[in-house]
């Protein structure tokens, strides 16, 4: 059954594979009358772009978004906003050797188990490249949210064993840091670790944290579409994510109620926003593709040694920040519209 | 917008409030021809029931499920299976004092912010009592899954600072432990901690872990409806849950790729099951309602001191085990059916 | 895949079979704060009830609706409103002879082709009895619409060859006519025809027409969820319906544009309401169950002669009027809420 | 709320306006492994194309479909198939005079009532041009259906007062007739009528009928997603459609049960296909845009005289045949996949 549409009232349908003609999407449900700042959408995309930070992959795609519909004289018409991003720098031949091999830690084998066939080039639709469509959709959602005074800010709070303990006082300097961490001292240590890991042909995991300010109270549904539940799904939809925690998160499992009741609740109670800051964390595993030789199996079941040739990120969290923000924006815009029918 | 239906092909619509006439649900999409073991459904419900373990609330509800439709001569007809559970032991008067007061850590205030009015008795629809409908729906899903050899087993892996490090070798003894932990030594320490906490009028958090065995490869959609993303949403839909991690989870954020690629992947790669065991953890905060006096605000904005009179759990995780399992069963049954249309 | 939920924002999930324990439904998405007039809901149900008109079946069910959830101090809470109607006068034994026989013009055989098994008693879920749940859902929707000044009025415009040519000037007297036709002269002829048909052990078809007054402009989506398209689906969801026409309908196929442009457009242009009266017609086939002996086949493929013993309507349109109205109310309430997110 | 996605398991999301950059769509849910004949898809599009018949508009668009995703080595991958059709021959300047005028019989005014703004060029998203996306989606669905032996055949059965009484014995010659009517004598009279109407600067309505052969029994859901109900919605989603009838349709309203039970049931009983031929009719109103001067209102409410300058069809039914077929294919493919989860 189709699983490529996200959201109910503000809805993104995503399409495209890593090495097909294009990736893109259709945003349906954006209200009419929004003056869309297309340069701002492109700027979001640039933040996610391969090559956007010296700490990421050297694959360098222009990633220009083209809008196909839904806009007239700069404004949204209330109808589908379709967009695409051509795949320009896709070195398919890098992947020829992978046609009959299943890379460890990738979806290669599970794809064949599911569909019986696959596009082996660059992970096909399982590539993180598909998140570019989320970033465009999220950038539109962000402009809708901005009108209500909502601000969504992600940042890197952990790379390997280098972690930030507290939410930084100010988050505006995130984009001045190559590692997307607003604390200069931690950023320097994270940068050093990523460079070390890359030099070793290895990779490393990390955590992206996100703060939402200015969200009105009352968003989220009380049972199945809790605001935090939909954020959890949104985050686990991002490639390489292995965990999500909201507010006090896993730490709360070790606490007493008398302690926990005194803490901020992460901005949600009973699934519904309470007007305070939203705060959550997203754990990313280390990229599975590394430059070291790895043992795996091929289609015939034979064990083979694999040396990856594609260009990959040693650590995904710096480039994941705009994706986390985009997915959060999609969830929040959806709930903002949903709330319009909660009362008479 | 409505948010009381869970799932796409195997779908539960839930209804009911803590102190209304009944809670219940409608399961739509269960295939025709399943011989439904109603006693087994009731047994699941009994495991969640207030009073099912001496470590929980003393509120004691019979919680008898009544089926209203969808069955004929013991078999599912392929049409909606409606069921209800009457609310028999609801002491509404316990809650009179809460009519104009917002309990800390509860959805009382956010409900009013959202809807403009609320049923203040026992949390209304935000009560964990609504999870009884999930348990019934999940019990039906479990019987569908059992036909395919799928087995879903939850257990308590943490209470406060008492934690189980490894997945227990065997999980069948979970229900012999009042605290729902299959490791006798850990179970004893958890029990002692909960009793201590109760005697102090306090509460404590914990973690429920879950293992799924026998799941076929190929379940889950590659982009937005990843199997792990839908499990994340399912778990965050449970009251008091603050975190979800899949496989290596938050620990993976501290690892190198060369280490992580050697670990089991939690049974999913790229959102799709690979035939290995599924493994995930769910963090529960300590219950907000404690017997100690707490400061809060009332409707007029005045600070008041609140002493809870209702009967509550000092720790929810023992009674949460069947809920975690039920939500997992709902997700897995849905994806099992979805997979039927993945290929020609 | 489940097909028992109707609507997007105002949504009815229906359950129940003709001879099961109960039929009922869950309305999800009704905004909070609506003071629900339960007697008015029951009154709608009484209009559909077997026995409500001397022209219908002699099966006499009390059809008392019981609300299970979603209401507090008389008002909607914004959460699911579950309700049920017990099946009290279900003579299952009437249907024993039908266990292995497929009645002509019924869903008996197609059910078995679809599901592999069926509840043969009274048509099971294919019985028109399931429309009682639609009437309750529609009655709630109607109260929401009434607040906006919307009025939905159905009436019988044809029985067999007795037809009303024009929309009657006033529609308030519909319920004073046993045949639900506001024109006394036509009503008398229709009544006579139905009595004749009944005396012959036969049945006859008819048309229910519907007028909606006071609907705001702007409801309906321009492409797939056109207001008239969703009304068409709603009407064809009613048992025995074989046709739907909107505004000028099939007659328009014979007209020139210069003529047609001068006519009223039925209240919709391009799928969107224009503030004028909505007008549409719904064709019902004659009931398939008649008192005359009919040839059919049994499970073994043998031709058998069937004489129906159940109590049935000679003409369904009088009792179909509240069902047509209810389905229309469901569609309109849904689009009323959907329109809330069309603009900034 | 978004209304641009059609179907549940086989799902088309449509986008684009008459004079925007492109129209197109995303088909999600087509099973993996279908060898897609792209030339056949283009051939379907050519049948709908402006200029495809001398009886239609003289607007001449190449309408080349470009596929962007979802295919690999000619086969469907089980993921979204995105496609677009560039708008090449869009004379926007034809429509400048319409910026502040609402054409009679069009959605111009209702659009502004709904969204507060509109793209006035050629009807924007309300243009019948958007049906090109349906034709592409339907052409993919048709190839899925063909594997099961299902054949969907539409034809013109009425233009103005020229009508075909019976279903033609053979339907293969439809495309040899400019008017898409397989009966040569009727086709000649229809052609003459359309040419007369065009010469008068007028337009005329008509009926498209459709026959489905080879459909398996068991498709369709018994209550809300009846096969005929979903076909009704599909057909009323097509521009200019005012009526839908299934099998015996409106004629059945005048019949006795003893007569009607002897007729074919149109291939559906109780909403579920019975393996016989599906047969339904779709009524189209005459195009509202005619070459004659018409009275209308402008934005200021002033009455103005309008003379249309765009190039339009005097009768839409010949070009509507592939659209009716395409929408039918979308419904049938969806139900074909839905049926896969009806039984154990």
**Phi, psi for residue B112 in degrees, rounded to 5:** -65, -35
Nearest CA in chain B to C14: B80
Closest CA of chain B from C108, distance in Å: 13
CB contact under 8 A, D243 and C244: yes
Nearest CA in chain D to A18: D69
Q: Write out pLDDT tens, residues A276-295.
A: 999 999 999 999 888 888 88
Closest CA of chain A from C31, distance in Å: 4
Residues of chain A by 3-state class (helix, strand, coil), percent to 5: 35, 25, 45
Record the tokens describing residue A118, joined without a space. Answer: 């696959």
- SS3 label, residue D241: strand
- SS3 label, residue A40: helix
**Phi, psi for residue A183 in degrees, rounded to 5:** -90, 115
Q: What are the C-alpha distances in Å from C193 to residues A155, C159, C164, C186, C283?
A: 77, 8, 14, 11, 17
CA dihedral D257, D262, D267, D268 (to 10 degrees): 30
A222: which chain C residues are within 8 Å (Cβ-Cβ)? 79
Q: Write out pLDDT tens, residues D83-95.
A: 999 997 656 666 7
First to last CA, chain D: 35
Q: What is the mean pLDDT of residues D237-250?
A: 96
Chains within contact range of chain C (3+ C-beta pairs < 8 Å): A, B, D
Considering only the beta carbons, identify the residue of A68, A116, A125 that sits closest to D16. A68
Q: Which of C1, C121, C134, C338 to mutate to test the interface with B (most CBs of B within 10 A)?
A: C1
Q: Tell me, what's the pLDDT at C203?
A: 95
Q: What are the C-alpha distances in Å from A27 to residues A30, A31, B202, D114?
A: 7, 11, 48, 19
What's chain D's average pLDDT? 92
Per-residue pLDDT at D257 exceeds 70: yes
Q: What are the C-alpha distances in Å from A305 to residues A310, B258, C27, D74?
A: 16, 14, 58, 31
Q: Write out pLDDT tens, residues B11-32.
A: 999 999 999 999 999 999 999 9
**Phi, psi for residue D164 in degrees, rounded to 5:** -95, 130
Those residues of chain B that have pLDDT short of 70 are 58-61, 89-94, 308-311
Q: Write out pLDDT tens, residues A98-119.
A: 788 888 888 888 988 999 988 8
Q: What is the mean pLDDT of residues A67-74?
A: 96
Closest CA of chain C from D73, distance in Å: 31
C226: which chain D residues are within 8 Å (Cβ-Cβ)? 3, 236-237
Considering only the beta carbons, identify the residue of A33, A79, A343 that sits closest to C344. A33
Considering only the beta carbons, identify the residue of C9, C147, C342 that sits closest to A31. C342
B22: which chain C residues are within 8 Å (Cβ-Cβ)? 68-69, 82
First to last CA, chain B: 35
By CB neighbour count within 10 A (0-12 exposed, 13-18 middle, 19+ buried), where does B61 fall?
middle
CB contact under 8 A, A249 and B242: yes
Euclidean distance between CA atoms D255 and C315, whole angstroms:
11
Considering only the beta carbons, identify the residue of A5, A78, A117 that sits closest to D33. A117
Closest CA of chain C from B122, distance in Å: 13
Residue listed under structure tokens 């708008």: D87
Q: Write out pLDDT tens, residues D166-219.
A: 888 888 889 889 999 999 999 999 999 999 999 999 999 999 999 999 999 999
CB contact under 8 A, B207 and A250: yes
Q: Write out pLDDT tens, residues A250-278.
A: 999 999 999 998 888 899 999 999 999 99
Record the tokens describing residue C221, joined without a space. Answer: 């989506």
What burial letters (b/e) apply to B43-55, b meaning 16+ CB within 10 Å?
ebbbbbbbbbbeb
Per-residue pLDDT at C20 exceeds 70: yes
Considering only the beta carbons, identify the residue of C8, C22, C115 that sits closest to B68. C22
Size of interface C-D (CB pairs under 8 A): 339
Q: What are the C-alpha distances in Å from D172 to residues A111, A215, D168, D169?
A: 41, 60, 10, 10
Non-local CB neighbours of D73 within 8 Å, separated by 6+ positions: none
Nearest CA in chain A to B204: A256
C68: which chain B residues are within 8 Å (Cβ-Cβ)? 15-16, 20-22, 24, 84
Give the pLDDT band of residue A311 (cuts 50, 70, 90). Answer: low
CB contact under 8 A, D70 and A117: no
Nearest CA in chain B to C32: B115
What's chain A's average pLDDT? 92
Chains within contact range of chain B (3+ C-beta pairs < 8 Å): A, C, D
B18, B121 in Cβ contact below 8 A? Answer: yes
> Between helices A227-236 and A317-338, what is the axis angle to 10°?
140
CB contact under 8 A, B344 and D147: yes
Record the tokens describing residue D323, joined without a space. Answer: 């659209």
CB contact under 8 A, C252 and D109: no
Size of interface B-D (CB pairs under 8 A): 40
Considering only the beta carbons, identify the residue of D125, D233, D274 that sits closest to C229. D233
Euclidean distance between CA atoms B215 and B150, whole angstroms:
5
Per-residue pLDDT at A90 exceeds 60: no
Size of interface A-B (CB pairs under 8 A): 339
Pairing of strands C278-284, C206-213: antiparallel
Euclidean distance between CA atoms D266 and D209, whole angstroms:
12
CB contact under 8 A, D342 and B147: no
Record the tokens describing residue B324, joined without a space. Answer: 């975690």
Non-local CB neighbours of D163 within 8 Å, separated by 6+ positions: D157, D186, D207
Q: Tell me, what's the pLDDT at D166?
A: 85
CB contact under 8 A, C343 and A33: yes
CA A5 to chain centre: 15
Q: Is the pTM of this model over 0.90?
A: yes
Closest CA of chain C from D90, distance in Å: 20
SS3 of chain C:
CCCCEECCCCEEEEEECCCCCEEEEEEECCCECCECCHHHHHHHHHHHCCCCCCCCCCCCCCCCEEECCCEECCEECCCCEEEEEECCCCCHHHHHHHCCEECCCCCHHHHHHHHCCCCCHHHHHHCHHHHHHHHHHHHHHHHHHHCCCCEEEEEEEEECCEECCCCCCCCCCHHHCCCCCCCHHHHHHHHHHHHHHHHCCCCECEEEEEEEECCCCCCCCCCCCCHHHHHHHHHHCCCCEEEEEECCHHHHHHCEHHHHCCCCCCCEECCEECCCCEEEEEEECCCCCCCCCEEEEECCCCEEEECCCCCCCCCCHHHHHHHHHHHHHHHHHHHHHHHHHCEC
CB contact under 8 A, A1 and B8: yes
C1: which chain B residues are within 8 Å (Cβ-Cβ)? 8-9, 29, 337
Q: Tell me, what's the pLDDT at B118?
A: 86
CB contact under 8 A, A207 and B250: yes
Record the tokens describing residue B154, joined without a space. Answer: 């939850």
Considering only the beta carbons, identify the residue of C9, C14, C17 that sits closest to B1. C9
By CB neighbour count within 10 A (0-12 exposed, 13-18 middle, 19+ buried), where does C161 fall?
exposed
Considering only the beta carbons, identify the residue of D79, D222, D341 that sits closest to B29. D341
CB contact under 8 A, A342 and B247: no
Eight-state DSSP code of residue A204: B
Closest CA of chain C from A114, distance in Å: 20
Q: What is the mean pLDDT of residues C134-147?
A: 98
Chains within contact range of chain D (3+ C-beta pairs < 8 Å): A, B, C
D336: which chain A residues are within 8 Å (Cβ-Cβ)? none
Q: Tell me, what's the pLDDT at C60?
A: 66
Q: Tell me, what's the pLDDT at B218?
A: 96
> How crowded is the C-beta side of B56, counted as CA atoms within 13 Å?
20
Q: What are the C-alpha distances in Å from C177 to residues A303, C164, C212?
A: 82, 14, 20
B78: which chain C residues are within 8 Å (Cβ-Cβ)? 114-115
Chains within contact range of chain A (3+ C-beta pairs < 8 Å): B, C, D
Size of interface A-D (CB pairs under 8 A): 158
Give the pLDDT band of residue A305 (cuts 50, 70, 90). Answer: confident
Q: Tell me, what's the pLDDT at B289?
A: 83
Q: Tell me, what's the pLDDT at C310?
A: 60
The helix or strand, by DSSP H or E, that contains position D259, with its residue range, turns out to be helix D257-260
């Amino acid at each position: 059954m189709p699983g490529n549409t996200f959201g109910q009232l503000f809805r993104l349908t995503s399409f495209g594979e890593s090495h097909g003609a294009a990736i893109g999407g259709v945003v349906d449900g954006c209200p009419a009358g929004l003056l869309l700042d297309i340069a701002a959408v492109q700027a979001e995309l640039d933040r996610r772009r391969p090559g956007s930070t010296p700490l990421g992959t050297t694959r360098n795609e222009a990633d220009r978004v083209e809008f196909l519909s839904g806009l007239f004289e700069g404004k949204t018409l209330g109808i589908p906003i379709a967009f695409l991003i051509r795949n320009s720098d896709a070195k398919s031949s890098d992947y020829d050797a992978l046609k009959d091999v299943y890379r460890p830690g990738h979806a290669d084998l599970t794809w064949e188990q599911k569909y019986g066939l696959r596009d082996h080039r660059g992970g096909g639709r399982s590539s993180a490249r598909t998140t570019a469509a989320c970033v465009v959709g999220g950038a539109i959602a962000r402009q809708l949210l901005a009108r209500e005074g909502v601000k969504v800010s992600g940042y890197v709070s952990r790379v390997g064993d280098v972690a930030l303990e507290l939410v930084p006082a100010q988050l505006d300097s995130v984009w001045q840091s190559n590692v997307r961490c607003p604390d200069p001292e931690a950023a320097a240590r994270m940068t050093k670790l990523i460079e070390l890991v890359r030099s070793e042909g290895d990779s490393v995991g990390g955590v992206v944290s996100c703060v939402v300010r200015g969200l009105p109270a009352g968003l989220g549904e009380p049972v199945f579409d809790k605001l935090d539940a939909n954020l959890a799904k949104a985050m686990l939809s991002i490639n390489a994510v292995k965990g999500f925690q909201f507010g006090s998160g896993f730490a709360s499992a070790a606490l007493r109620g008398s302690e926990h009741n005194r803490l901020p609740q992460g901005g949600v109670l009973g699934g519904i926003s309470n007007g305070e800051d939203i705060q959550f964390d997203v754990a990313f595993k280390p990229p599975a593709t590394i430059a070291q030789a790895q043992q795996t199996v091929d289609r015939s079941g034979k064990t083979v040694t694999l040396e990856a040739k594609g260009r990959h990120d040693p650590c995904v969290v710096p480039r994941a920040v705009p994706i986390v923000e985009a997915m959060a924006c999609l969830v929040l815009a959806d709930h903002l519209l949903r709330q319009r029918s909660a009362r008479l």
